[in-house]
Structure 1
Amino acid sequence: MAEDPMLSAAVERAYVDDAVFALRPDYRAMLIAAEGLVPGPGDEISETLLAEAESIARARLAEQAVEEIPHIAAWRNAFRAFGAKPQRTRTSVEALMRRAAGGLPRVNRLTDIYNAVSVKHLVPVGGEDLARYVGAPRLIRAGGAETFDTVADGHDVVEHPDVGEVVWCDDLGVTCRRWNWRQARRTQLSEHTATALFVFDALDPMSDSELHAAVDDLDEHLRRLGPAVTTVRRLIARTNDSQEVPSC
């Protein structure tokens, strides 16, 4: 099957601002784009993956407080570095780990799969609907004027990130605030998403081999969602050639 140019563009045009690497030189982003997905609500497969992740999380938390787990402690320090308070603004994987005892959320097939992978491998993972994406994904430190569409008190609202906040964005605005804290509504995965971009955010002590293992795990599950599933991936690290990053 021929590779869709949109998949290649989604990962090849993505970049991370040097200001982010200055904040955390150990940061790596692994992007995996997928097409040919068969979307839908949660099913027996996604339920099994979530149950397995819950069991793994509970076993870890029986031995160590969530904030003391090295992979999560590293993200709490990263959040402090740009002014976020980790007690109030938790990285996505910490938020999931804290919910594991009472049960992880059930959202839809794609979201449930990547949440299970996130918990299993202790790495923040985000999912974006590529059909709703405009322009190249980039990770920057916000200027404060960027827009972020979300919901507050049951109403649609547009917010703006704090100056210096680390955000993922595209040409239309912020797609995820505070590195991997909260996703914009516009690009959320749904029961109709057939082409998606998944973002893995890694810091030391997560090794490159651990990061690749997590991505391989997701890739394997995605390919089971349909006979025509195709994926493309790319690792972005400080050792890569730096690129100029336009504003959102």
Structure 2
Amino acid sequence: MYFRHSNGIWNDFPELAAGAIQTEGIRKDVAVEKHVAHFGAIARARLSEHTESELPEIQAWRRGFARMGLKPTQYRSASEALLRRFRKEGALPKIHPMIDLCNAASLAYAIPVAVFDLARITGDLEVRPAVGDEIYTTFAGDVELPDLQEVIFADASGRAHARRWTNRQSGHSAVRDETASVLIVAEALHVDAETDVRQLVDELHAAIRAIWSVNPRSAVLNRSAPSFGC
């Protein structure tokens, strides 16, 4: 399968930089606390000087949401939502080692990071505007239909694996205890996005390799290199 953004996304958001990591051999019985603490310390230091809404990475996503016709304070990017909760509560709940690691990296870089269970995705996965007949499943199991032209992560079966781009990930392809193969996607729109995404990908790649003793594959995508083979 391939992960990519549609030509329309690149046309509308030429500043986009995206990173992708794919790996097998994921299991739940590993320790990620050291890496989570490292990323958390970076986020805590940044939040001691600025609120999440003042960070350039978050401001860029707010502008991006406004360009999509969404109210930025009503529909927050995943990274903004995580940072907001982290600032208020001082920590994030433990869910699964892979999710905990990626959430912590998202906090540190203020960049949305999504993790998909590849066994739950059919064919290629593309970030594109919805055509109106895709199916999205919430974490509670409810079924929704994305709005026409809403930016979604869509697979070959017409299932939406995220709504409003980086706002809401689907429960259908979320990481579970039995998940063994994942695709991780990080996306940014701010100035220096490609540099920061590359650093984020490199750090996550190294952490995953050390924690799970696996050999991930990764790439940084842009308009001239828009797809990643999983």
TM over 0.5: yes
Whole-angstrom CA distance in 1 between matches of 2:15 and 2:182? 26
Rounded Cα–Cα distance in structure 1 between residues aligned with 2:32 and 2:128: 32
Q: Is 2:4–2:226's contact at 8 Å kept on the other side of the alignment?
A: no
Q: Cα deviations across residues 131-178 of structure 1 (Å, max 9, x unaligned)?
A: 111111101011222110114xxx521101122211111123101111
| 8 Å Cα contact 1:54-1:104 kept in structure 2 | no
Residue of structure 2 in register with 1:96 after alignment: 82
Query: Conserved in 2, the CA contact under 8 Å of 1:36 and 1:194?
Result: yes
Corresponding position of 1:197: 183
Whole-angstrom distance in 1 between the partners of 2:226 and 2:34: 40
- The aligned counterpart of 2:7 is 18
User: In structure 2, what residue type is equivalent to 1:105?
Assistant: P
Deviations 1:70-113 (A, max 9, x none): 11100011011111211111101111111113111211111001
Choose from 1, 19, 36 the match for 2:25: 36
Query: Post-superposition shift, 1:54?
Result: 3.2
Alignment correspondent of 1:137? 125
- In structure 2, relative to structure 1, the CA distance for the partners of 1:129 and 1:207 (3 Å cut) is same
1:162 is aligned, of 147, 150, 153, to 147
Secondary structure at the counterpart of residue 169 of structure 1: strand
Q: Structure 1 pair 207/149, CA: closer, same or farther in 2 (3 Å)?
A: closer
Question: 1:20-99 to 2 correspondence within 5 Å?
Answer: 20-37=9-26, 39-40=27-28, 45-99=31-85
| Aligned-partner Cα distance in 2 for 1:241–1:106 | 33
Aligned-partner Cα distance in 1 for 2:199–2:40: 19
Q: Displacement, 1:21?
A: 1.6
Query: What amino acid maps onto 1:56 in structure 2?
Result: I
For residues 143-154 of structure 1, the aligned pairs below 5 Å read 143-151=131-139
Shift of 1:128: 0.5
Asked if the contact 1:133–1:170 (Cα under 8 Å) also holds between the matched residues in 2, the reply is yes
Note the C-alpha offset of 1:241: 6.7
Aligned ranges 1:1-16 → 2 under 5 Å: 9=1, 13-16=2-5
Q: Per the alignment, in what secondary structure is the counterpart of residue 211 of structure 2?
A: coil
**Structure 1 residues 68, 142: CA separation in 2 closer, same or farther (over 3 Å shift)?**
same
Q: Say whether the 8 Å CA contact 1:16–1:236 is kept in structure 2.
A: no
Aligned residues, how many? 224
| Backbone CA RMSD of aligned residues | 1.9
Match of 2:203 in 1: 217
Shift of 1:123: 1.3
Per-residue CA shift, 1:17-44, capped at 9, x if unaligned? 121122211112221110122x116x6x
Cα distance in structure 1, aligned partners of 2:42 and 2:109: 10
Q: Does residue 235 in structure 1 map to residue 220 in structure 2?
A: yes
Superposition TM-score, scaled by structure 1 size: 0.83
* Structure 2 unaligned blocks of 5 or more: none
